[in-house]
Amino acid sequence: MTTRRTNDRAMTPQPPRFRRRRLLAAAVVVVITLTALLIGALAGLGALEANGRPGDTPTDALGGLHPDTGYSVEDGYIEDGESVSPFADELPAIAQLEPELRAAMQDAARAAIADGYEFVVTNGWRSAAYQQSLLDAAIAEYGSADEARRYVASPETSKHVTGEAVDIGRTDANSWLSQHGADYGLCQTYANEMWHFELATTPGGECPAQLSDASAG
């Protein structure tokens, strides 16, 4: 008969000190892992706050500082691709519009919303410094000041700086306002900017001929 031998070493219980060392090593691994996860979470939170989204304040909702210029909501900054309510009077971009323009725009917004259109503002009042930064960026993009001014006016000529212009978001709302804006005195000013409206006639009047672009103003 063959006698089956066992592994005496494997069957021998380990002394308590070895078990304690194994438990300590496992605990260290757990602590290191949890620490790394915590550091990653804090880093992500810091990036979230730095980018200013999301949040509960208007500044956070608008993206905080402009990533290229450092200008903020106080300069009328609204993040590219974002929009605000036409009734957000707590925001400088809306509050510092010329009062008659703001009232006309809000009256038109109520009518458009009642007709089922989403009516938002993508640009309103801007500070002169912020407008200049936009022009500088446009010059860098288009390669010349003349070409850039077709799309971005200088601070001296911009109606956004004086609070006399507002840009409306959503294509269907632009179309609605192009058809009904004159009822409120609002007119599309530039042929190449269907979103740009100014108070250019009396309510119910006739809008003047559109300019080709901002450089023609």
Q: pLDDT tens digit string along 147-168? A: 999 999 999 999 999 999 999 9
In this prediction, residue 43 carries a pLDDT of: 43
38-71 exposure pattern, b = at least 16 Cβ within 10 A, e = fewer: eeeeeeeeeeeeeebeeeeeebbbbbbbbeebeb
Identify whether residues 36 and 95 lie together within a single domain: no
Q: Is residue 4 part of a domain?
A: no
Question: Could you tell me how many residues make up the chain?
Answer: 217
Identify whether residues 87 and 121 lie together within a single domain: yes
Other beta carbons less than 10 A from residue 3's beta carbon: 4
Identify whether residues 87 and 182 lie together within a single domain: yes
Cβ(84)–Cβ(78) below 8 Å: yes
Identify whether residues 98 and 22 lie together within a single domain: no
The CATH number given to whatever domain includes residue 192 is 3.30.1380.10
Identify whether residues 66 and 29 lie together within a single domain: no
Q: Is residue 188 part of a domain?
A: yes
Identify whether residues 23 and 114 lie together within a single domain: no
Token reading at 12: 């021998």
Q: Is residue 2 part of a domain?
A: no
Identify whether residues 43 and 144 lie together within a single domain: no
Q: Is residue 212 part of a domain?
A: yes
Q: Would you list the DSSP string of 144-211?
A: SHHHHTTTS--TTT-TTTTT-EEEEESHHHHHHHHHHGGGGTEEE-BTT-TTEEEE-S-TTS-PPPPB
Cβ(108)–Cβ(186) below 8 Å: yes
Q: Is residue 157 part of a domain?
A: yes
Identify whether residues 90 and 18 lie together within a single domain: no
Residue spans of the chain under pLDDT 70:
1-69, 217
Identify whether residues 71 and 28 lie together within a single domain: no
Identify whether residues 78 and 164 lie together within a single domain: yes
Q: Is residue 3 part of a domain?
A: no
Identify whether residues 23 and 122 lie together within a single domain: no
By residue range, what is the domain housing residue 143? Answer: 58-216
- Cα–Cα distance, 125 to 114 (Å, whole number): 26
Q: Looking at the 3D structure of the chain, how many domains does it have?
A: 2
Other beta carbons less than 10 A from residue 91's beta carbon: 22
Identify whether residues 47 and 66 lie together within a single domain: no
Other beta carbons less than 10 A from residue 145's beta carbon: 13
Phi, psi angles (nearest 5°) of residue 202: -80, 150
Specify the 3-state DSSP secondary structure of 102.
helix
Other beta carbons less than 10 A from residue 82's beta carbon: 14
In this prediction, residue 71 carries a pLDDT of: 85
In this prediction, residue 82 carries a pLDDT of: 86
Q: Is residue 89 part of a domain?
A: yes
